[in-house]
Amino acid sequence: MAGRRPVILVTRRLPEAVEARLVRDFEARLNPDDRTLSPEEIVAGAQGADGILTSAIDRLPAALVERLPTSVRIIATFSVGYEHIDLEAAPARGITVTNTPDVLTEATADVAILLLLAAARRAAEGMRLIRERRWIGWRPTQLMGLGLAGKNLGIVGMGRIGLAVARRARAFGLQIHYHNRTRLSPEREEGATYHETLETLLPLCPFLSLHCPATPATRHMINRATIELMPEEAVLVNTARGALVDDEALIAALRGGRLFAAGLDVFEGEPDLHPGYLQLDNVVLLPHIGSATRDARNAMGFRCLYNLDCFFAGKPVPDALT
């Protein structure tokens, strides 16, 4: 490696400052048109490359990882989530995988609160009313939503983002209940009530926000049976992963009024979300913008670069997952 810059295949267009640094310090194979690369294009583009800088929407399952050239020794993903990369196949090929924790926590927590408020206060309906010129003026009974103060917010997955949501939610007068694989220390709980199971959490929470990773165990954790455990007219927010929710069950519950509303930033099979959502007034839909602030996206890029720098300098890699 001495004397030559590492070659990096970059599967997505990245923020300008990040690409400028990539081009300065690496032999970067960029994707200026931001095209989705097919598995064949990834394998071809990685020929002779030392690493791949990828993102949450570019899938690297075992079958693809196994076809990568042996020159590839690191995959840095521009995301905190890493379920799109096979974490068994990669180390088996001697490939280190890194992600970008921390730097998108605040941005994502903001969007969870944005969706919570928008869903509870029917913001999407209100905006449509105005844009479609159907608003006939203030009425005492118009667009009545739900107040947050004094109620419970359930948080599923009390990691960095869950904690950041809890901090914000307390300012709105919400009391925090949470379910996590392990209970947090009292200092980190800050008065939140721990539930060992979803079954005890859900009945207490008129507001629920999901912050756990998508794994085989969490897939469709919100389904017909778990929705039945929630209070009547509850609100669900998902800024984590679409796979956590059974779309058919959620759509039926929103349509029938069993749930009051939902706020969704992520979808199973996105960008092809379930068409049923488009028919509903009581769902607020965002196109996976949880981390989409300039600050966070730059920080994610520089975090990937720092991991690559450390790796190629033979230093400990801060965000190594494997």
Provide the annotated active-site residues: 241, 270, 288
* CB 111, min distance to ligand DGY, A: 10
Give the tokens for residue 225.
């049976």
212 is a contact residue toward ligand DGY (CB under 6 A): no
Contact 56, 304 (CB under 8 A): no
For ligand DGY, the closer CB: 104 or 262: 104
Residues 163-182 that bind ligand DGY (CB under 6 A): none
* CB 133, min distance to ligand DGY, A: 36
For ligand DGY, the closer CB: 104 or 205: 104
For ligand DGY, the closer CB: 10 or 205: 10
DSSP state letters, 244-264: GB-HHHHHHHHHTTSEEEEEE
- Cα–Cα distance, 162 to 109 (Å, whole number): 7
Annotate each residue in 36-65 with x if it binds ligand DGY (CB under 6 A) or - if it does not, as one string. Answer: --------------------x---------
Query: Contact region for ligand DGY (CB under 6 A) — 24-32, 79-87, 175-183, 311-319?
Result: 79-87
* CB 132, min distance to ligand DGY, A: 32
Measured at the CA of 291, the angle between CA 176 and CA 261, to 5 degrees, comes to 50
Give the tokens for residue 82.
């890493």
- Cα–Cα distance, 108 to 266 (Å, whole number): 12
Q: Tell which one of 6, 154, 242, 290 touches ligand DGY (CB under 6 A).
A: 290
Q: Tell which one of 104, 124, 243, 254 touches ligand DGY (CB under 6 A).
A: 104
Give the tokens for residue 245.
């929710």
For ligand DGY, the closer CB: 56 or 116: 56
Map residue 296 onto helix, strand or coil.
Answer: helix
Helix (H) or strand (E) holding 108: helix 105-120
81 is a contact residue toward ligand DGY (CB under 6 A): yes
Going by C-alpha positions, the residue among 65, 85, 66 that lies closest to residue 76 is 85
Query: Contact region for ligand DGY (CB under 6 A) — 2-10, 75-83, 145-153, 191-199?
Result: 75-83
* CB 267, min distance to ligand DGY, A: 12
What is each CA distance from 173 to 148, 170, 202, 233, in whole angstroms?
Answer: 7, 5, 19, 19
For ligand DGY, the closer CB: 12 or 170: 12
Size of the site for ligand DGY (CB under 6 A): 7
* Distant-in-sequence, close-in-space partners of 42: CB < 8 Å, separation ≥ 6: 9, 11, 52, 58, 60, 64, 68
* CB 116, min distance to ligand DGY, A: 18
> Residue numbers of the site for ligand DGY (CB under 6 A)?
56, 79-81, 104, 290-291
